[in-house]
Amino acid sequence: MCGIIGYTGQREASEVILEALRRLEYRGYDSAGIVIMNPELTLHKRKGELAEMQRTLPQINGHVGIGHTRWATCGKPSNENAHPFLDCHGRIALVHNGIIENYMALKEKLQNEGHVFTSQTDTEVIVHLIEKHDKGDLHQAVRAAVAEIKGTYAIACIEKGSGQIIAARKENPLVLGLGIDENFVASDVTAILSYTNRVKYVMDGETVVITPEKVTIYGPDGEMVERSSQTVTWSAEDAQKGGFPHFMLKEIFEEPQAIHNSLLGALDVIENGEILPNVQFGSIKIIACGTSYHAAMVGKYALEELAKIPVTVELASEYRYSPGAKEFPLVVLISQSGETADTLAAAREAKRRGCKTLGITNVIGSTITREVDEVFYTRAGPEIGVAATKTYLTQLIALYIIAIRIGYARRNLSHDAMWNELSKLRAMPGAVQSVLDKAFDVEAAVDMLVPARDVFYIGRNINYPTMLEGALKLKEISYIHAEGFAAGELKHGPLALLDSTTPVVAVALTKDHTYDKMMANISEVAARDSPVLAIGCEDDKELPQVADLVLRVPCVDPLYSPVVVTVVLQLIAYYVALKRGCSIDKPKNLAKSVTVE
C-alpha cells in the first residue's frame, strides 16, 4: 500500500526522502511526490514510476520534508491526485495513507467555506481541515482535524517556517526513526534502515511532534506518552537483492534460513508452553486473507491431525459479517505484515465476541501484536517482493509448531511423538535446499505454461490448499488466469474446460494416502489432451507414465509436504513470469501491505 516518509535534521532532506521512497517501492504504487521546505514549501509530484518523478525533480535544498508513494484508492492515478497536498495558501503540506469515509460530506462543507480543491482524493480534505483549525499551533490543528475524520489514516505534515513534522495514526502503520540531531517518520521501517535502527512505533489514536532534537508522542487524551525505543535487528543490506535479479528469487532462496530461524526456540514453545499455556478451548478458528488464508487451510489439516481438535478457516473480510456462534474457539489470525486491515478488524470482532486470540505475523511491533492476546513471530526477515514466498513458508512452520504444541498439551502426542514431529520439522530447511538446488530443472520445465491463457492446479488433502497457493502465485506475477481445484472436483465442472491449450499442474506424492486417486485424476486430465506438469517424489517411477514432465521433491512425511511442494510452485510462478517479461517484484494493481479494506 502507500508509503510515507518524513525527515527533519541536518542532511539534505530531498536525498533522504528519495532514498526512503526507493525502499518503499515494493509496497506498490502508481505515483510519487515530495515536498521540501526551502524556505517556502516546494512541491513536486508525478504519476508513474518514482524514477520519472526523480528525473524531473529540480534541485531543492532544505532540511525538512515529506514524501509519498501512492496506490490509488480514491481518485484515479494522475499528477493531480498524487501526494503530497498543500492547503490553499501553500503553508501546510500533507501525506496520507488510509481511507477517509466521510470525506464527501467534509469536502462539501469546506467548499462552502471557500476552500478550493485540486484533486479527486479523500486525502486533500485533511490538509484543508488542518488549515481551517490552524491558529498557530500545527499539532493542535492536526488533533482537531482528525477528530472530524471517520476512517483510517497515517499522516505526516509540515508547515512553512517550521522544522517540525506532525504525524498521526489510526489503523495504518507509522514508525519513528531516532537519530542524532535528526529524526524520521515512515510507514515502514525498511524506509529508514539506511539511517537508523532505533525506532518507536506509533499506536492508534496517537499524534507525534517530530523535531531534529526529539520526538514527542501524545495519546488520544493529549497527554504525553513515554515509550522506550526498540532496535531493529536486520539491516538495510538485508533488504537488498544480494546479486539476485529479483527480490522474489532472492527471498525464495532465503527460505531454508527463514525456516531455520522460525524453528529457533520451537522446543520451548511446544514443551514449556511459551505460547498457549492454557489450551482449554474446544475448537479453533483460523482467520486470514490471500496467501495467509492458504496457510490457514494447510494449518487446519495439521491441527486436526496432530492436535485432534476441530478447526474451521474463514476469510477475514467475511468474518465480521457472520453471525457468530455461542461457542468460544481459539481464534488464530495470520497476517504477514501485521497491518492487514480486514484481519485487524476480524481480531477486534473476535475479542468483542469474547474469544481468546493468537496472532501470527512477521513484523515485530505491528498493529496485530497489540490487538491479540498472544503473538507468534515467524522470523522470516524482511520480504520486499509483493508476492509472499518465505513469509508463507514460515507461516506454515508456525502453524505446525502450534499444532504440535496443542497436540502435546492435550496429550494427543506423547513426549516421544512430539520429538518425532519436531524432528521432521527440523529436516525442512535441508529438504527445501535440495529443491532449490534443482531450480534449473523448474526453469526448463515451465515452457509449457508460458504461452497459456489458463492453467489448472490440482491436488488433494493437505496439498489442495497448496495448489490454491500455487495458482495464486502464477496469476499474481505472470498475469495468467490460474485456478486451483481439489482434484476430486474435476468431474463437477472443470473437466469441461480442459483441452490441449490448458496445461495442468498436479501434485502426487507416493507416501500420501491420496496417491492412487491423484494418479487417476492425472490420467483423466491427460485423456483430455491437457499437458501435465507434475510434482512427485524422487523415487516415483509411475508418475512419468501419465505426466508430460515431472519435477522431483524429497519424499518427506505427507503432512509436511506442502513445505517442499510450495517451493516448486513458487519457482514455477517466478520462471513463467520471467519468460513472459512481467514485473515480478511489483505486479500491477497489487501491494505488499493491504492496509485498506
What does the pLDDT read at residue 37?
Answer: 93
The predicted-structure confidence for 169-211, as pLDDT tens digits, reads as follows 987 889 999 999 999 999 888 899 889 999 999 988 999 999 9
Residue linked to cell 531450480: 439
**Range list for CATH 3.40.50.10490 in the chain:** 241-426, 432-586
Residue linked to cell 467548499: 111
Q: Read off the pLDDT of each residue in 497-510 and give the average, rounded to a whole number.
A: 91
Q: Does the domain at residues 241-426 carry the CATH identifier 3.40.50.10490?
A: yes
What does the pLDDT read at residue 542?
Answer: 94
CB distance 342 to 288 below 8 Å: no
d(CA 336, CA 93): 32
Active site residue 592: yes
Of all residues in the chain, what percent carry a pLDDT higher than 70?
96
Angle at 432 between CA 429 and CA 438, to 5 degrees: 145
**Range list for CATH 3.60.20.10 in the chain:** 3-238
Residue 27: what are its φ and ψ, rounded to 5°? -70, -15
Q: Read off the pLDDT of each residue in 277-293 and give the average, rounded to a whole number.
A: 93
Q: Which of 132, 170, 250, 592 is labelled catalytic?
A: 592
| pLDDT band per the 50, 70, 90 thresholds, residue 579 | very high
Q: Which helix (H) or strand (E) holds 470?
A: helix 463-478
d(CA 258, CA 394): 7
Q: Are strands 165-170 and 207-210 parallel, antiparallel or unpaired?
A: antiparallel
| Nearest to 212, CA basis, from 11, 60, 3, 35 | 11
Q: Are strands 3-8 and 183-186 parallel, antiparallel or unpaired?
A: antiparallel
Chain centroid to CA 162: how far?
A: 35
- The arrangement of secondary structure in 3-238, i.e. its CATH architecture, is 4-Layer Sandwich (3.60)
565 pLDDT above the threshold of 90: yes
| pLDDT band per the 50, 70, 90 thresholds, residue 245 | confident
Q: Which of 2, 537, 555, 582 is labelled catalytic?
A: 2
Chain centroid to CA 326: how far?
A: 32
d(CA 61, CA 179): 20
Residue linked to cell 539534505: 12
CB distance 296 to 313 below 8 Å: yes
The predicted-structure confidence for 347-359, as pLDDT tens digits, reads as follows 999 999 999 999 9
The predicted-structure confidence for 15-31, as pLDDT tens digits, reads as follows 999 999 988 876 667 88
Give the cell for residue 443. Answer: 526453469
Local structure of 377: helix, strand or coil: strand
Q: Are strands 504-507 and 532-537 parallel, antiparallel or unpaired?
A: parallel
Chain centroid to CA 545: how far?
A: 40
Q: Read off the pLDDT of each residue in 506-523 and give the average, rounded to a whole number.
A: 92
What does the pLDDT read at residue 593?
Answer: 53
The predicted-structure confidence for 295-335, as pLDDT tens digits, reads as follows 999 999 999 999 999 999 999 999 988 876 667 899 999 99
Active site residue 586: no
Mean pLDDT (the chain) is: 91
CB distance 53 to 77 below 8 Å: no
What does the pLDDT read at residue 328?
Answer: 87
Give the cell for residue 176. Answer: 519513528
What does the pLDDT read at residue 242?
Answer: 60
| Domain covering 432-586, topology | Rossmann fold (3.40.50)
Residue linked to cell 517501492: 25
What does the pLDDT read at residue 27?
Answer: 63
pTM: 0.71
- Highest mean pLDDT (candidates 76-85, 231-240, 317-326, 393-402): 393-402
What does the pLDDT read at residue 74?
Answer: 78
d(CA 253, CA 257): 9
d(CA 476, CA 474): 6
Chain centroid to CA 383: how far?
A: 9
Residue linked to cell 490487538: 371
